Amino acid sequence: MHREPLSGRIDEEGAVTAEYAIATIAAVGFAALLVVVLRSDEVRGLLLGLITRALAAPS
């Protein structure tokens, strides 16, 4: 059922759902990219070195 827009505003019913879907797709894409980056040997070595130095720091 189509209702007349109030005060000249455009009927945006369903727009919020579409925005959530786009944001979810973008988040999944970013997560996939992050997994690829973190699986690389170079990044893994950098993170391991950082953690090792942080744990070995004098108290």
Domain range annotation of the chain: 17-56
Q: Provide CB contacts within 8 A for 3, sequence distance 6+.
A: 11
pTM of the model: 0.52
pLDDT at 17: 84
pLDDT at 1: 56
pLDDT reading at 46 higher than 80:
yes
pLDDT at 35: 92
Tokens coding 32: 């996939």
Question: In this predicted model, what pLDDT tens digit does every residue of 6-31 receive, in sequence order?
Answer: 555 666 666 788 889 999 999 999 99
CA 49/CA 51 separation, integer angstroms: 6
